Amino acid sequence: MLKQILISLVAGAAVSAAAAVTPAYLDPSRDIEERVEDALSRMTTAEKVAILHAQSKFSSPGVARLGIRGLWTTDGPHGIRPEVLWDEWDQAGWTNDSCVAFPALTCLAATWNPEMSALYGRSIGEEALYRGKDVLLGPGVNIYRTPLNGRNFEYMGEDPFLASEMVVPYVKGVQEQGVAACVKHYALNNQEVNRHTTNVIVDDRTLYEIYLPAFKAAVQQGGAWSIMGAYNYYQDQHLCHNRRMLNDILKGEWGFDGAVISDWGGTHDTAEAVANGLDLEFGSWTNGLSNGASNAYDNYYLANPYKEMLAKGEADTKTLDDKARRVLRLIFRTSMNTSKPYGSLCSEAHYAAARRIGGEGIVLLKNDKGLLPLPLSSEKPVRLLVVGENALKMMTVGGGSSSLKVQREVSPLDGLRAAAPAGMTVDFARGYVGDVTGEYNGVTSGQDLSESRSPSELIAEAVEKARAADYVVFVGGLNKSAGQDCEDSDRESLSLPYGQDEVITSLAKANPNLIVVNVSGNAVAMPWVKQVPAILQAWFLGSEAGNSIADVVFGKVNPSGKLPMTFPVKLEDVAAHAMGEYPGVKRQGEDVWDEKYNEGVLVGYRWHDTKKIKPLFPFGHGLSYTTFSYGKPVADRREMAVGETMTITVPVTNTGDREGQEIVQLYVTDVKAPLQRPAKELKGFRKVALAPGETKEVTFTITADDLAYFDADAHSWATHPGKYQAHVASSSADIASTVPFTLR
């Protein structure tokens, strides 16, 4: 009897000890892959399917039985979107879901500074973390193919090398906070008109050289934990479940181990979604429960229909496990990560970051006779006139899914007034009326921009005040309304809307000291460019917009931004409009628009330079309040073989009287290419800070990879021996020196 009792006690102790052992999937000290496999082994088929689709507008479930948390996503990429109701787009009515709006990604790209990208990623990641978000739906890296694309302001310009260099620090900065970056919109999502029904037809060389590099860099160098599919078609398959893009390239060639997330409403077929690489479905039936099913989310394409396929043997468990494994990996990297920091929201550090990025991204396009910066002191009173609706209008509300609810937003007018020195008076004239509304998705700006005066009366007032002013700053451009810089619509033309050209021309005649500040995420036509002595490209700058603009106007910040896209003189000078089939050709009897990218690799400056079309302002252009000179470059060799490197060092001197930053650019030309290649391509850049009179050496390294083109027939990158040129430049159109070399 005693022996039986002892045996029972020992057995009971063993059971208790076993029960006390933490399962591997719940042990944060274990490797993530071990945790994922352990969790997967404990899940039922129903639980595996359940984590593949949403449970609300912006969240997906975990596995409650196992204590595995779900995922909360949030729109970005410029700030953390306000909370909406569980099943609807309507506002949830929270009072603590305001955020800091950071500058749009066109501005970030215009800094040409990976350090600013890292600062941006860390800052917005901290805001997402504080709000309890696991996945930030951004950044966007679709290539700027046409200036009409309403969503260009969310992307990083026209050059794949620049976008690649800038996206990596952003992704790393976000994910350092335990928040996943979801890089979007993969891929070929280069317009908003017909975005759900456009079938892109593009050759493989163009695909790999222009439209994929930034996504590849985000995955392989940035280690992105998630990717968002695009709405449009490629090879007649939706990009949210596109076999070639997702299975063959993303997961196959690039080795992506994260989760592919659908854009909201981007899933259209269960069989394709199962077979072609989609892992996590959001936004199907985005009007919530009105389809009449109390389990609307269980009726998503990757929900009950998927379970039915599995039950019938029409889908295999290996594919299911791969999807569940990827979602679990995302969960363990984010919501189940117990070592995350706490994050912060609306901190002064974040406002300072937004202001700094904005100031560094503003581009000084023109500055005749040194009109800028405006004087900070004067022996007599100075009168400054600010004109334009964009000097007042909040730009953080509107534009689509990146619309924000901010804690505060400094307008350009308020920023200029706050920064104006003693003795300077700042007056205002409306000049024109654009969009007087200020509402998106239930968030309102609270501004009353209503106006009863006629356009002629507004111009007359502005001209009268301009004649009496010492300086005039016109703040205009585009806004976030439909048909301008806005999701789900493209611009109607390259021209400024609301009769602004007439306003600017009238002001130029009334006052020679006119500064135009263009607020936009796109290039605009400037028929008045020769009449205006100073022009700033100011982008959408977020919460600190007015302060960033004032910092540059008054010289607190020496402008150092450079254009991440070409400003054409006219729309016909853009390759997509001269050669392509924008916005596509409608198929007879089908709701599909085929759009051929006939321009191939000649996108942006590649087209302008190759075809010798003079732009309004070239890619990489940007002036400073100081001046820089480039010395003679020195190459360590003039001949190299595959596997070898060549370095080029060039001295750069600040020849002015102000501290400033210069962006030194390196372009490469294939002199005798066996196929059509652009006149030159960006292959390197460095941003260097210089005190007056200071000289620093900038070094670039060139490898055979920098000379490669994509050989579609061999499906590999290829180089050929021959003569090349390396150009040290301050823009794509301003070459300081050229170094010829040979590849053996």
Instruction: Check if the beta carbon of residue 283 is closer than 8 Å to that of residue 84.
Output: no
**CA Rg, the chain, in Å?**
28
Q: Residue 374: how many CA atoms within 13 Å on its side-chain side? A: 27
| Alpha-carbon gap, residue 394 to 116, rounded angstroms | 24
DSSP states of 644-685: -EEEEEEEEEE-SSS-EEEEEEEEEEETT-SS---S-EEEEE
Edge-first strand order for the sheet with 681-690 is 639-640, 734-743, 722-731, 660-670, 681-690
Closest CA to 694 of 650, 648, 664, 652: 652
| Alpha-carbon gap, residue 217 to 224, rounded angstroms | 9
Q: Which two tokens mark 656?
A: 């002015």
Burial class (CB in 10 A: 0-12, 13-18, 19+), 290: exposed
Instruction: Check if the beta carbon of residue 407 is closer than 8 Å to that of residue 80.
Output: no
Angle at 388 (CA atoms; ends 387, 390), nearest 5 degrees: 135
- Per residue in 45-56, is it b (16+ CB within 10 Å) or e — as a string? eebbbbbbbbbb
Among the listed residues 263, 279, 551, 573, the single catalytic one is: 263
| Alpha-carbon gap, residue 161 to 684, rounded angstroms | 8
What 3-state DSSP class applies to 695?
Answer: strand
> Which residue has 């599995």 as its token pair?
310
731: which strand partners? 734
- Per residue in 617-656, is it b (16+ CB within 10 Å) or e — as a string? bbbbbbbbbbebebbebebeeeebeeeeebebebebbbeb
Residue 341 has a CB neighbour count (10 Å cut-off) of 12
Q: Which two tokens mark 335?
A: 């919501």
226: which strand partners? 182, 259
Residues 6+ apart with CB under 8 A from 227: 182, 183, 184, 186, 215, 218, 219, 250, 256, 258, 259, 260, 261
Is residue 263 flagged as an active site residue? yes
| Alpha-carbon gap, residue 555 to 624, rounded angstroms | 10
The verdict on whether omega for the bond into residue 77 sits within 30 degrees of 0, i.e. cis, is yes
What 3-state DSSP class applies to 322?
Answer: helix
- The two beta strands, 363-367 and 534-537, are antiparallel
Q: How far apart are the first and last CA of the chain?
A: 89
Residues acting as catalytic residues: 263
